[in-house]
């Protein structure tokens, strides 16, 4: 029987002399995937870091809205608790539950007030879920004063565990 020819070298994913780092530094961070409506897919986590990662991954003008939402909540609710779950930033006051969250859609950012039916005036968006109300923020149409008033009221209510 003739001898088996030597096998060919295995092809690798990278060419010699190349690395998976950005300009020889730390490994490149994977850009978050955008789900429908441009909502970033961010791993769940507790604290400010995952919320900031979510905001930085928001597309276009929505990123500025995300920053303003976060700034207003932090300023209005000292010691606010933050988390990202279900690809959504959540904000809580007290030890249990959350009072608000937001999510990206194609043409707006939807803020959810979990006990929104207790807020005065009522946030404009109705929900099929009891007690929930929504505030949709379109480009150039963010009423920051009213939003801060709703945040102050919402943070004083018992939190919800979504």
Question: How many whole angstroms separate alpha carbon 153 and alpha carbon 149?
Answer: 6
Q: Residue 151: inside a domain, yes or no? A: yes
For residue 161, what pLDDT is reported? Answer: 86
Whole-number Cα distances in Å, 46 to 8, 54, 90, 136: 49, 12, 9, 25
Q: Residue 73: inside a domain, yes or no? A: yes
User: 43: closest CA among 76, 51, 56, 133?
Assistant: 51
For residue 5, what pLDDT is reported? Answer: 58
Q: Residue 74: inside a domain, yes or no? A: yes
Low pLDDT (below 70) residues in the chain: 1-36
Q: Residue 50: inside a domain, yes or no? A: yes
For residue 8, what pLDDT is reported? Answer: 56
Quote the number of domains for the chain.
Answer: 1
Q: Residue 2: inside a domain, yes or no? A: no
| Domain carrying residue 79 | 36-155
Query: Could you tell me the pTM of the whole model?
Result: 0.79
> Residue for token digits 């979504």?
162
């Amino acid at each position: 029987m003739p001898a088996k020819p030597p096998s060919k070298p295995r092809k690798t994913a990278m060419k010699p002399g190349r690395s998976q780092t950005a300009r020889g530094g730390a490994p490149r961070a994977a850009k978050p995937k955008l789900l429908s409506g441009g909502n970033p897919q961010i791993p769940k986590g507790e604290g400010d870091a995952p919320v900031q990662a979510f905001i930085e991954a928001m597309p276009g003008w929505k990123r500025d809205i995300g920053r303003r939402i976060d700034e207003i909540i932090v300023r209005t609710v000292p010691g606010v608790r933050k988390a990202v779950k279900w690809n959504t930033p959540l904000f809580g006051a007290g030890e249990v539950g959350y009072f608000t969250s937001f999510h990206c859609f194609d043409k707006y950012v939807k803020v959810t007030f979990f006990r929104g039916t207790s807020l005065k005036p009522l946030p404009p968006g109705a929900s099929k879920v009891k007690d929930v109300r929504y505030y949709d923020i379109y480009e150039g149409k963010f009423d920051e004063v009213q939003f801060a008033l709703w945040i102050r009221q919402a943070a004083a209510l018992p939190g919800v565990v979504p």
